[in-house]
Structures are given as structure tokens and as C-alpha cells.
Structure 1
Amino acid sequence: MLSKCRVLYFNIKGKAQLIRLLLHDQGITFTDDVVDKKDWPAMKPTLNLLFGQMPAFWEGDFHLVQTGAILRYLSRKHDTYGSNDTEASLIDMAYDGVEDLYQRYIRMVYGADFENGKAKFLAETLPDLILPTLQKLLKTNKNGEGFLVGDKISFADYHLFQFLDALMDLSASACLEAFPVLKAYYERIKARPNISKFLASDLNQKRTFNNAGH
């Protein structure tokens, strides 16, 4: 019997969304706890979080921070880390590659001049670099008709889906029409029953993707 799981993060999607997607998709019951941004400075010293950062995860008395570590722990337990060491290594590579591109988006979102930064990001960075690279990555496995690696979903897929979801929210009209393999992938993952139910929930709908208001 799996110990009760708990995720703690701000009341946004952010990096905790990857963990939430995995837990919901795999049917793992968990408590989705939030910290109000204004309460964080006072609450932070009381939580004894290593590195002083969220998201944080508990399974019974076992505690982890760092998104990648949490995802890998859950993936080893719930069969979302490939079928062998080779696939696990490819999943690690895919996750890290998606993260590198995701950080470009994060720097833009939290930049000093969001509106001008957004315009350049949508006109240049997204269509010229990010989306072509992500589609190329996806097509390395069965021409992009399934998952990033092998025959089953992995924690790298949750990262890619969450990134695409954030980009669609940023500007749906500027995103995936020119990248049909990515678009089909996004719709497939979004249609997975537990993910679809979670995304449609009031709790998820009320959350922005980040603290910048997008």
C-alpha cells in the first residue's frame, strides 16, 4: 500500500505541475497543498526544506525536494522511467534538453520588459529554435507518433507536455500549427483520461502558469 503522498508548492502550475501530472496520470492519490506567496517568507524557515526551495514532496515520512529528483523517484516506482537502462538514459537526456529550452521561456516571462520580450520570443525564439528542436526530439522515436522514448509515457513527456501547454496559453495562435507532429502529440497527452480530468478541474483552471501572471 502506497504511503500517502503530498506535494507542496505555490498556487500556480510552475514546476510542480510536472509532478502533479505524473501523479494524476498514474492514478496516485496525493494532497495538493499550496503556500500563498505572501506567506512564504514567514513559512519558509518552519518547513526545514533542504535548499529552501519548492516544490516539496512527501511520501509518508520520506521527503524530497528538487523537481527532477522527485520525478525520478516516482518514475522508478511507477514505471515511467523506460524499459531498460538505455531508455532511462534517453529519458534523462530528453528531460534535460526540454529543461534547457524551458529556461529560455522562464527568462522571458520573468524579464524586466515582458511585453517586448514576449513579442520577440513569439516571433523568433519559439518558431526558429524551440519548436523545431522539440519536434526534432519527438521524431527521434517512431517519427513522433508515440512518446519521447520507447512505448510508454515517461517523466520527460510530462515536462514536454507542460511546456507546450504553457506555450499554448502564452499564444495559441503562434504555436503549433506549423509543427503538426508536436501538435498531435500535445493533443494525445492532453486527452489521456486522468490528465484531461485534472486539467479541467477548478483547482487547475484557477492556477496561472507562473507568478508573473501568465
Structure 2
Amino acid sequence: MLLADQGQSWKEEVVTKESWLQGPLKASCLYGQLPKFQDGDLTLYQSNAILRHLGRTFGLYGADEREAALVDMVNEGLEDLRRCCGHLIHHKRISFADYNLLDLLLNHQVLVPGCLDPFPLLSAYVARLSARPKLKAFLASPEHVNRPIFGSRKI
């Protein structure tokens, strides 16, 4: 997204699960992981190292060290959220965080119908939680259907 928004061209090589499991590519990668990013003679691994490099390259890392520290803090918070969401989606437990994530995802579906279609795990998560009998009844109730999204009226 960053490269596209900054008007840059790049070549993306999509790795299939089958080719990854064959082993040679995995063995050639530092930490045995993707993504791998090549910028001239610089090769980087780890998503956030790549993002930080691109942020510095394109002036997207804050105006000074203080702003850079704040950008780092926000990014680390997003990584925490990503891990939590992944854990929620891949486990069949219920916690208060599930309701918060479900609300966020349902709001997105109202604002952009079909936005979860390309994401089968998220779609299955929403379907699994929404099918809980008492929650299903609440979600269909006028109290919920007419509820504002993000503090304003529904679009």
C-alpha cells in the first residue's frame, strides 16, 4: 500500500504454499520467513523493518526524532492489535474483546458491504460469532439495527 500510494513501481513475487514447502526458498531467507524486500543491494526481512525503511526513504517517519518515536509507538500498538485479532479469529473462545472486534467488523460491513469477502477467516469469524443464538437475536433487533455507527447515523 505504501509503495502504491507513494507512486512507486515494484515487482511483487507471490510465493505459493507449495513452492514454500519445497524448501529452497525458505532455506535462503533470513529467519526462514517472508516477506523479503530487495531495494538495490539492501535486502530486508521482517515487515516492520521494511516499513520503517520505506518510511524513512519517503519521508513518512515523522518530522523529527520525537515524531518518529510516536510513529513507532503507534505501529507497535497496531502490531499488538494484529496479534490479538489473529488470536481471536483462530480460537473458538469468547471474551469481551470478541464483541469489540465483532462490532468493528460489522460496522465496516455496513459502511462497505462485501469488504470482508476477500478475507475468509474474518468472514468465518463474523459468521461464527453472529450465529450465537442470543447474539443473533440482538443483532437482528431494532435496537441494534438502528444504532449509530462510529457515533453518527448509519450511511
TM tier, shorter chain? 0.5 to 0.7
In structure 2, the gaps of 5 or more residues are: 105-111, 117-121, 127-138, 140-147
Larger Rg: 2
Deviates more, 1:44-53 or 1:75-84: 44-53
Partner residue in 2 for 1:31: 11
| Contact 2:88 2:98 (C-alpha < 8 Å) held by counterparts | no
Cα RMSD between the aligned structures?
A: 3.2
Q: Distance in 2 between matches of 1:94 and 1:87?
A: 11
When residues 89 and 47 of structure 1 are mapped into structure 2, their CA distance, relative to the original with a 3 A threshold, is same
Query: How far off is 1:108 after superposition?
Result: 2.2
Q: Return the structure number with greater strand share.
A: 1
Q: Distance in 2 between matches of 1:41 and 1:122?
A: 34
Query: How far off is 1:27 after superposition?
Result: 0.9
2:150 aligns with one of 156, 164, 179: 179
In percent, how many aligned pairs have the same letter?
36
Structure 1 length as normaliser, TM-score?
0.46
Partner residue in 2 for 1:64: 44
Structure 2 length as normaliser, TM-score?
0.62
- Give the counterpart letter for 2:99 in structure 1: E
When residues 180 and 88 of structure 1 are mapped into structure 2, their CA distance, relative to the original with a 3 A threshold, is farther
- Give the counterpart letter for 1:124 in structure 2: Y
Alignment of 1:86 with 2:66, yes or no, is yes
Secondary structure, aligned partner of 2:14: strand
- Give the counterpart letter for 1:83 in structure 2: A
| Contact 1:58 1:64 (C-alpha < 8 Å) held by counterparts | yes
Q: Which has the higher contact order (CA 8 A, sep 6+)?
A: 1
In structure 1, the gaps of 5 or more residues are: 1-20, 132-164, 182-214
When residues 31 and 105 of structure 1 are mapped into structure 2, their CA distance, relative to the original with a 3 A threshold, is same
- Give the counterpart letter for 2:70 in structure 1: L
When residues 76 and 123 of structure 1 are mapped into structure 2, their CA distance, relative to the original with a 3 A threshold, is closer
Query: How far off is 1:98 after superposition?
Result: 1.3
Deviations 1:141-191 (A, max 9, x none): xxxxxxxxxxxxxxxxxxxxxxxx9xx62469x9xx63259xxxxxxxxxx
Deviations 1:75-124 (A, max 9, x none): 1110110111111000000000111111111112333x4xxx5x767852
